[in-house]
Amino acid sequence: MNQARDCRADVVILGAGPAGLGAAWALAGSGARVVVLEREPEVGGLCRTHAREGYRFDMGGHRFITADRPLLDRVTRLMGDELLLAERKSEVALLGRRFRYPLELRDLLANLPPRVAARALASYVKARWRRDPSPPDTFEAWATARFGRALYELFLGPYTEKVWGVPPAELSAEWATQRISLLDLKDVIRWLLPRQRARPPRTYAKTFLYPRLGMGQLFTRIAEEVAEGGVELWRGCAALGFERSGARVRAVRVAGPSGPLRVEAEHVLSTAPLSHLLGWLPEGAELAAGFRFRPVRFLNLALSRGQVLPVTWRYVGERRFRAGRLQEPNKRSPFMAPPGVSSLMVEVPHAPGDAIDLADDAGLLERLWDELEALDVGVTRSEVRFAFSVRAPEAYPVHLRHTAARREAALALVDRCENLRSFGRQGGFRFVFSDACLRMGLDAAAGVLGGALPSSLELASVQSARRLLEVESVVGSEVAR
């Protein structure tokens, strides 16, 4: 770390996650003095990989997917042979059975108890037939219109409430349209008509890119390149607030490892949670309360046995289980565990201050062990070599019905400081993946270098391109060639 007690920089970037590192990547080598402030001891944000005794765990299994050609080229050039092509296989555990994910109607109908299956089919066809032309504004309205009430009540509703911690009737439909794979009515009809059954249904691309040593490897590699380009990465330094001068931020106040600091800045690019940033602006405090995050705790189990799951990850559908998803890291890369053994990660969304939040690691394992047994994971206690947990207090930006309007107002307020912008998943309050966050950072930096900063709203509007890739397999076909 290259940090002086007080200093002056051309650009100060708050956060060394994908969005902050994306900005630093574009500014590296530009000749500008760039300081990145990261409150944690490591870079990568939610894309960090935690390594212990040869086992590696992402914060929730990550995969790199993008339809952003220039970004893809840049990432593949940087990573070379360290980037593997992995295959996604996912399923849902429900009613003591397992179903394919993305949901496939034929699989649901074949595996659900016959009466439940008949209800699911009837309500699905009814919902799709009676399409309401007005766009649904809540997750519940969106999901029931696309999957039917029976499937919604069986899986999508309870699972969504578990993950987000609010009733789906209060959640905005915005994120669902980006992230949930749909049952395709044409496939269903084709399947229902016997003469058409031989034709294969439309399939979703299943490949994704994954760094050999975990998602975090991509971001430590970017950080290395950024440092080589002269950018200063100050780890363990949390931004605490600003000094203002009229419509500009004059300096960032920082809690450093050896006490308080201040960094004078020409430009400030923030990827810190939007609610924190608003709290640092006198006129933003009231708006700040409108932005909530859903925390997730990840319980990582290092095992002394080989393969556990037949899939990369398994969603846990029912609300009675606290776990939301189980992942086996070496399904993404064989280098995520020592040779011959495996590991398991349990994602547990929770509320601040609840029993999951307050438990220590041993207590958390105790609480979740009964669930792992009830879910028939097949691991015995003697096969757990060690367990530890990792916390993500701001894992999911919770989009309620009125969040979009509040977000616009909040980002406009941030931009009243002419040299300040906010973007990224937490900073732009968007449910987006790392590709979109890298792109936001690259675009913000291009604005700095070009002398015209885009607005925070423009920056934070980049979409993760999952649907395009999952349907058209852009990355898969390009890399496999």
Residues in 322-361 at the binding interface with ligand FAD, rule: CB under 6 A: 347
Answer for the pair 314, 326: CB distance below 8 angstroms, yes or no: yes
Stretch that binds ligand FAD, among 43-51, 166-174, 177-185, 303-311 (CB under 6 A): 43-51
**Per rule CB under 6 A, is residue 437 in the interface with ligand FAD?**
yes
Both tokens of 106, joined, read 């034929």
Stretch that binds ligand FAD, among 1-9, 42-50, 144-152, 307-315 (CB under 6 A): 42-50
Q: Which is nearer to ligand FAD, 192 or 479 (CB)?
A: 479
Q: Tell me how far, at minimum, the Cβ of 63 lies from ligand FAD, in Å.
A: 4
Whole-angstrom Cα distance, residue 295 to residue 221? 27
Q: Which is nearer to ligand FAD, 144 or 456 (CB)?
A: 456
Query: Amino acid identity of 128?
Result: R
All residues at 6 or more sequence positions from 26 whose CB lies less than 8 Å from its CB, including other chains: 441, 442, 445, 446, 449
Residues in 157-216 at the binding interface with ligand FAD, rule: CB under 6 A: none
Q: Which is nearer to ligand FAD, 263 or 337 (CB)?
A: 263
Q: Which is nearer to ligand FAD, 31 or 257 (CB)?
A: 257
Residues in 252-271 at the binding interface with ligand FAD, rule: CB under 6 A: 271
Name which position in 9, 12, 13, 14 contacts ligand FAD (CB under 6 A).
Answer: 14
Q: Which is nearer to ligand FAD, 168 or 211 (CB)?
A: 211
- Alpha-carbon torsion, ordered 320, 324, 326, 331, to 10 deg: 150
Whole-angstrom Cα distance, residue 125 to residue 188? 9
Applying CB under 6 A, the site for ligand FAD has a residue count of 35
Name which position in 433, 454, 460, 462 contacts ligand FAD (CB under 6 A).
Answer: 433
Buried b (16+ CB within 10 A) or exposed e, 392-419: bebbbbbbbeebeebbeebbebbbebeb
Q: In what order do the strands lie in the sheet with 313-316?
A: 97-101, 90-94, 313-316, 325-327, 343-349, 293-303, 384-397
Report the chain's C-alpha Rg in angstroms.
23
Answer for the pair 145, 158: CB distance below 8 angstroms, yes or no: no
Residues in 376-405 at the binding interface with ligand FAD, rule: CB under 6 A: 392, 395
All residues at 6 or more sequence positions from 258 whose CB lies less than 8 Å from its CB, including other chains: none
Q: Which is nearer to ligand FAD, 121 or 436 (CB)?
A: 436
For residue 229, the tally of other CB atoms under 10 A from its CB is 16
Name which position in 94, 120, 272, 398 contacts ligand FAD (CB under 6 A).
Answer: 272
**Per rule CB under 6 A, is residue 151 in the interface with ligand FAD?**
no
Name which position in 11, 24, 28, 46 contacts ligand FAD (CB under 6 A).
Answer: 46
Stretch that binds ligand FAD, among 37-45, 93-101, 141-149, 180-188 (CB under 6 A): 37-45
Answer for the pair 249, 420: CB distance below 8 angstroms, yes or no: yes
Residues in 106-145 at the binding interface with ligand FAD, rule: CB under 6 A: none
| Residue ranges that bind ligand FAD, judged by CB under 6 A | 14-20, 37-40, 45-47, 60, 62-64, 238-239, 271-272, 276, 296, 347, 392, 395, 424-426, 432-435, 437
